[in-house]
Structure 1
Amino acid sequence: MARSLEIVGDRWTILILREMYMGASRYEEIQIQTEATPQMLATRLKSLEADGMIERHPYSEKPLRHEYRLTEKGRSFYPVIHALRAWGETWCKDKSEEIAVHFVHRECGHDVGLGTVCPECGIPVERKDLDASLGSQFAKERAERRAAFKRK
């Protein structure tokens, strides 16, 4: 447990990974949605790269810009993120708040809720088996962060 926490044991690292699981790959989008300072984000991205959780890939030559992609090691951390999400949705929200992200099983088209097994067809699901859609409150929060960042 201690060795694992050395790699992923802080808020910023977990938020960066959350964004990457949601499809973000570029520095600016990760920064906007995590609200990390540039120094904090750069430090965490370098650590994740050094630990083999992510890889940098150039997407622009002039100026040189990189995007970040999860490695197999990084992708294999998803069940931990999923467990944190399920726990947070269950215990850290007011009853009036909607679920932040809905996951639909691609194979049968049913919402899987907070579980790891599709309640409709009984098949265990992984992130690659699911389509995500944001709840309206979470989508609004994300749009507001993006707008605020662009006003800076």
Structure 2
Amino acid sequence: MAEIQAQTGGTPQMIAARLKNMEADGLVARRPYNERPPRYEYHLTPKGQAFYSVVLALRAWGETWCKSPEEGLAVVYTHKTCGQPAGLGPLCEHCGELLRREELISEPSAAYIEERNARREAFKGGRIQQ
């Protein structure tokens, strides 16, 4: 949960509440990975996996309308099926197949990695409000 908090700036209570709501809605399933202390990880359910096309649509909208073209893509996806850049989806711009999360290789840009690392460091340093 700390990584989610570092990247979003959300409070632990807000993140926990949203994860519980997503679990109640059947988007994720909670699985234990540590007994003492009890710790859980969340995995997408089939319903959650089916939501991926919505995530791709939001990404495409953000990449198109929320930044300048010279910034480039934050993350480039390669479609494992054809081995080519997938584009913004929902269909692979090379082979035309529907993009599925498990069939994509993500390659974050240097700027995106730098931004994520800066958020992580700010969180560790206590500069992100909780």
Q: SS of 2:71's equivalent?
A: coil
Partners of 1:124 and 1:78 in 2: CA distance: 11
Classify 1:86/1:67 alpha carbon distance in 2 versus 1 (closer, same or farther; 3 Å). Answer: same
% identical equivalent positions: 51
| 1:28 and 2:10 aligned | no
CA-based RMSD of the aligned residues comes to: 1.4
Q: Work out which of the residue numbers 130, 136, 142 in structure 1 matches 2:104.
A: 130
Offset of 1:113 from its aligned partner? 1.3
Which position in structure 2 is the counterpart of 1:16?
Answer: none
Which position in structure 2 is the counterpart of 1:74?
Answer: 48
Which position in structure 2 is the counterpart of 1:23?
Answer: none
Q: SS of 2:43's equivalent?
A: strand
Letter in 1 for 2:83: G
Q: Could you list the runs of 5+ residues in structure 1 that have no partner in the other structure?
A: 1-26
| 1:113 and 2:57 aligned | no
Letter in 2 for 1:146: R
Q: SS of 1:96's equivalent?
A: helix
| 1:144 and 2:118 aligned | yes
Structure 2-normalised TM-score? 0.88
Which fold has the larger relative contact order, with Cα–Cα distance below 8 Å and residues 6 or more apart in sequence?
2
Maintained 8 Å contact 1:102/1:134:
yes
Maintained 8 Å contact 2:49/2:101:
no
Q: Could you list the runs of 5+ residues in structure 2 that have no partner in the other structure?
A: none
Structure with more strand by fraction: 2
Structure 1-normalised TM-score? 0.76
Q: SS of 2:84's equivalent?
A: coil
Instruction: Count residues with an aligned counterpart.
Output: 126
| 1:58 and 2:8 aligned | no
